[in-house]
Amino acid sequence: AQSVTQLGSHVSVSEGALVLLRCNYSSSVPPYLFWYVQYPNQGLQLLLKYTTGATLVKGINGFEAEFKKSETSFHLTKPSAHMSDAAEYFCAVRGGSARQLTFGSGTQLTVLP
Amino acid sequence: DTAVSQTPKYLVTQMGNDKSIKCEQNLGHDTMYWYKQDSKKFLKIMFSYNNKELIINETVPNRFSPKSPDKAHLNLHINSLELGDSAVYFCASSQDTSSYNEQFFGPGTRLTVL
């Protein structure tokens, strides 16, 4: 079985501040982990993914995430928030042989001027 | 060029009606999916096809019937629409069924049942 918990359904940061969106997963096998972003009235777009290898993964738009097996976490960060980062962010997990991707409940990021 | 496209983008209909949503991908992918996103933004897989064969069929009412005429298309037909069917429906595709492959999503179809 696999599951994803995103702590904080809403996160607000000031423009220029650090963005930290939390994701913890549960998987009985080594997981593949993904972060997707959804802008208003649009579909989901991949930000980054972890499969194997380097645990610090860099994605688009300056985002990165670190896979920490001991903490079963895959938190998403960005050093400096832009207004354009305001969106819904989803963490997702898929175990090695799992048939499907399991999404977290999402975190709405608000960027304050 | 749109990678995954869906039509229509908005669908407003009365209870009891039958409606279809179409999805097409031009990425050459083997695997396609239908997701439902509820009002709280929760995403739930409904169906998945690989090379036109159904491989995931989650607990979804029989009123929902997917159909894949070829690898590039996955349509969703809904009979006897109910109020609870109101949601945003997303089509997605991936290169194949491998777990490490990302999924590419369409823009969504917002279904409103009155």
**CB-CB neighbours of B44 under 10 Å:** 16
Indicate the burial class of B30 (C-beta count within 10 angstroms; 0-12, 13-18, 19 or more).
Answer: middle
Check CB contact under 8 Å for B41 and A41.
no
SS3 category, B78: strand
pLDDT at residue B99, as a whole number: 83
Chain B residues inside the 8 Å CB shell of A96: 99
Q: Tokens 């949601």: give the residue.
A: B87
pLDDT at residue A104, as a whole number: 95
Query: How far apart are alpha carbons A106 and B3 in whole angstroms?
Result: 24
Extract the residue ranges of chain A whose pLDDT is less than 70. none
Closest chain B CA to residue A107: B41
Please tell me the distance in Å from B73's CA to the nearest CA on chain A: 17
pLDDT at residue A29, as a whole number: 80
- First vs last Cα of chain B: how many Å apart? 34
DSSP state of A69: T
Give yes or no for a contact between B71 and B30, defined as CB atoms under 8 angstroms apart: yes
Check CB contact under 8 Å for B99 and A49.
no
Above 90 in pLDDT, residue B34? yes
Please tell me the distance in Å from B105's CA to the nearest CA on chain A: 6
Query: How far apart are alpha carbons B32 and B39 in whole angstroms?
Result: 23
In the structure, what pLDDT confidence band is assigned to residue B50 with cuts at 50, 70 and 90?
very high
**pLDDT tens digits, residue range B77-111?**
999 999 999 999 999 999 998 888 899 999 999 99
CB-closest option in A42, A49, A106 to B102 = A49
Query: How far apart are alpha carbons A87 and A106 in whole angstroms?
Result: 10
Interface mutation target, options B102, B103, B105, chain A, most CBs of A under 10 Å: B102
Q: Which residues of A79-105 are buried (b: 16+ CB within 10 A; e: fewer)?
A: eebeeebbbbbbbbbbbeebebbbbbe
**pLDDT tens digits, residue range B3-21?**
999 999 999 999 999 999 9
Check CB contact under 8 Å for A105 and B42.
yes
DSSP for A78-100?
A: ESS--GGG-EEEEEEEEETT-SS
pLDDT at residue B1, as a whole number: 67
Please tell me the distance in Å from B68's CA to the nearest CA on chain A: 18
DSSP state of B8: -
